[in-house]
Amino acid sequence: MTEAKSPLLAKKDNRDYLYDNMKAFLIISVVVGHFASGGTDAGFGVDKELQTIITMLKKFIYIYHMPVFMMVSGRFAKSRIDKDDWPKVISKVFVPYMSAQILMMLLCCLVKDVILVKNLSFINPLYGMWYMFNVAVYTIFTAKVKDKKWLFPLSCVLAIGVGFAFSILYGGFHRLVCYYPFFLFGYLTANVKFDICKKPWFRVLAAIAFIALAYYVFTRGKYINYSLLSINKTYWTIAKATRASVFRVMVNAIGRYIMAFVFFFIIIGITPSKKTIFSFIGQHSVYVYILHLFIVIALRNFDTDYKLLSHINTWWELAIYFGLTIVLSFILASKPIRVMARPFLAPNFDLSKAAKKLAGTLKDE
């Protein structure tokens, strides 16, 4: 007679570790990408080849990391969207965004980051905070229009079309338009298990495709425009900088979107479905995402005065630098850090209960 499992163990056994592992891979890519950006801006030593490789690494990561992250976010937002649970979205996403945004504003003022301080606003997310802002808006908006059959194609047309604006939309609204197809795709396919991506033959093809695309970027990446990958410039600006036609830039933008969707399936294919040591990071990826931004901003401004990154001149030093970013991901996902950060990033606030309590108070009066 077999021993019955406890409800707690059953819950753990039923967890979909595929997406925990995907989120872990993506958030580590985000952290590595941001630290690579800080390094290339400051200057990794004097080795030209070293800097070129880091620039190509950054470009490769930027092809997939936030688009696929947004697709996964759309997938996990399905329950709130279907229930139109906007009070919980305000409580669990928008309030933490506001809290983190305020803290980042204070940090920018403290370190005197001129670029970021000039743009202090709650509708102008600082640095990587646009992700939280977008998810909150997307979830509330999609709940209202989810039954419209034209929603996904229209979102794609608008995402491509907004590039023709003569200047980027104010605050976080440019990326709000550009990233919506990714989030919407995740929501619309939330019930699809993509079992074909877990087949051994597909995993082999996915690994080959990942390596081949990485090789292409590292060898031909100088022709890939970084602003197009980060979706933070208009076609006119990119065309002027690259001396290409606006039409060609638009075609490249369409290719950029296609590649992002392709990477969603590639990353499913190369990601383990069983629990791994990295699953822990994926379960708490939001903490890693927000907290590492503060560290990157502080490090970038600290390095301006002390030039620490300029001492990284060898491959071994570079390997240690990026190895520490993975260690940092584990640290930021750890329970002690989460407990300390929870009052700011996951405050105990429920808009529904607060509204009901207020209504009851008003009724008594």
DSSP state, residue 343 = H
Between CA 60 and CA 229 the distance in angstroms is 9
Q: Which of 24, 14, 33, 118 is nearest to 296 (CA)?
A: 33
Asked if residue 12 has pLDDT above 70, the reply is: no
Mean pLDDT over each residue of the chain, to the nearest integer: 85
What is the Cα gyration radius of the chain?
A: 21
Pick from 55-69, 88-102, 292-306: least confident:
292-306
If pLDDT is split at 50, 70 and 90, which confidence band does 131 have?
A: very high
Which uninterrupted H or E stretch holds 147? none
Between CA 124 and CA 111 the distance in angstroms is 19
Q: 312-348: per-residue pLDDT in tens?
A: 777 887 888 889 999 999 999 999 999 999 888 877 7
Q: Which of 159, 140, 175, 169 is nearest to 69 (CA)?
A: 175
pLDDT at 6: 40
> pTM of the entire structure?
0.88
Where are the domains positioned within the chain? Answer: 14-357
DSSP state, residue 223 = G
Q: Which of 211, 337, 350 is nearest to 269 (CA)?
A: 211
Between CA 10 and CA 14 the distance in angstroms is 6
Contact in structure between 257 and 244 (CB atoms under 8 Å): no
pLDDT at 354: 57
pLDDT at 113: 60
Using N-to-C axis directions, what is the helix angle for 200-220 and 48-76, rounded to 10°?
140
pLDDT at 173: 86
DSSP 78-142: HHHHHHT-HHHHIIIIIHHHHHHHHHHHHHHHHHT-HHHHTT--TTS--GGGHHHHHHHHHHHHH
